[in-house]
């Protein structure tokens, strides 16, 4: 089977700077991208770059392509994959732009629960563009907080509109809401584009951020919960597996993202955990270099802190 199509999801608050970011990506690309949007006309591309255009597709002189979803996302993804296989479209990465109020959950589920999509596409990053100036007001809306929770990269845009102290405060607030995400402060969505890609599958920098976390609980909107648990005692592999299944069954789609570095009693190697909803995976990532401990982050809706902590505690190795 041919290599799966690397896919980046870009979401964010209304007016946060997504369109500006998209323009930066397609006008100065580091690779050929296909941009999938609701309406191609909504992306204001310099006419000098347009080589061919119709209602559904804009082809640029630099090799990038802008496509309209035109209905169902699954159908659009299958059409694009077919055209790429047949040589009608040539690109290295697909970028999907969501509307300002879109929930990333169902979009990500399309890539995991649709076999025809899962076989041809691979999520490589989820980026949420955040308006630094409007952050606290926007955190009162569940949809906005969800977008933060699902991200592995948070672009903190419009930092020129707030003071240096406020930048520190909103960065800390975002870090509490999504402890493992990469946070990129920007003005007019300007950043090194390479930092935005290949961040979904637990890069070393994210591992380092997770290792620095301490126990904590952060809440926003009516029901958003970000829970960080650290455990010094090694965990029993089978007991933890049972506890994790219970957590997934209890919360299912209300568990947006969860990640961890686990210290099991039967190995000196770090075991990486990463999942969204009911789908998760684990991998071995070398031996612990310093202090051995388990660090887990659960981000979701109405998470019961005490029940989850009790479950993890019950998974400890008793010796």
User: Count of alpha carbons within 13 Å of 163, Cβ hemisphere only?
Assistant: 3
Q: What angle do CA 287, 291, 296 make, to 5 degrees?
A: 80
**How would CATH label the architecture of 210-314?**
2-Layer Sandwich (3.30)
**How would CATH label the architecture of 5-201?**
3-Layer(aba) Sandwich (3.40)
pLDDT in tens, 218-229: 999 889 999 999
Rounded-to-integer distance, Cα 123 and Cα 264, Å: 28
Which value, to the nearest 10 degrees, does the dihedral of the CA atoms of residues 163, 169, 173, 179 take? Answer: 110
pLDDT < 70 regions, the chain: 1-2, 38-66, 68-71, 100-101, 319
pTM for the whole structure = 0.87
107's tokens: 């979009």
Predicted pLDDT of residue 53: 43
Query: By three-state DSSP, how is residue 251 classified?
Result: helix
Predicted pLDDT of residue 101: 62
Round to the nearest angstrom and report the end-to-end CA distance of the chain. 46
Predicted pLDDT of residue 97: 83
| Domain edges within the chain | 5-201, 210-314
Sign of dihedral through CA atoms 238, 277, 311, 178? positive
Q: Can you say whether residue 71 is alpha, beta or left, with left for phi > 0 and alpha for psi between -120 and 50 degrees?
A: left
Rounded-to-integer distance, Cα 244 and Cα 258, Å: 11
Domain 5-201 and domain 210-314 have a common topology: no
């Amino acid at each position: 089977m041919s290599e799966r199509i690397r896919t980046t999801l870009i979401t964010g608050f209304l007016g946060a700077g997504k369109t500006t970011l998209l323009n930066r990506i397609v006008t100065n690309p580091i690779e050929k991208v296909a941009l999938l949007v609701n309406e191609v006309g909504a992306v204001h591309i310099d006419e000098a770059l347009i080589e061919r255009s119709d209602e559904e597709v804009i082809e640029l002189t630099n090799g990038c392509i802008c496509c309209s979803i035109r209905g169902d996302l699954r159908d659009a993804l299958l059409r694009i994959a077919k055209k790429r296989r047949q040589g009608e479209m040539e690109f290295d990465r697909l970028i999907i732009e969501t509307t300002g109020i879109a929930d990333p959950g169902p979009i990500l589920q399309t890539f995991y629960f649709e076999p025809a999509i899962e076989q041809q596409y691979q999520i490589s990053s989820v980026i949420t563009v955040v308006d630094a100036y409007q952050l606290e007001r926007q955190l009162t809306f569940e949809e906005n907080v969800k977008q933060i929770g699902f991200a592995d990269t948070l672009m903190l845009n419009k930092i020129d509109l707030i003071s240096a102290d406020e930048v520190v405060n909103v960065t800390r607030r975002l870090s509490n809401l999504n402890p493992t995400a990469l946070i990129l402060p920007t003005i007019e969505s300007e950043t090194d584009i390479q930092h935005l890609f290949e961040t979904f599958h637990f890069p070393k920098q994210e591992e380092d951020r997770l290792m620095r976390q301490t126990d904590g609980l952060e809440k926003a909107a009516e029901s958003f919960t970000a829970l960080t648990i650290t455990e010094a005692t090694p965990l029993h592999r089978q007991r933890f597996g049972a506890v994790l299944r219970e957590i997934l069954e209890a919360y299912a789609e209300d568990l947006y993202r969860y990640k961890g570095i686990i210290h099991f009693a039967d190995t000196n190697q770090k075991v990486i955990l990463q999942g969204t909803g009911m789908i998760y995976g684990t991998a071995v990532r070398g031996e612990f270099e310093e202090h051995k401990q388990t660090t887990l982050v659960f981000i979701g809706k109405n998470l019961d802190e005490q029940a989850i902590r009790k479950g993890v505690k019950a998974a400890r190795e008793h010796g």
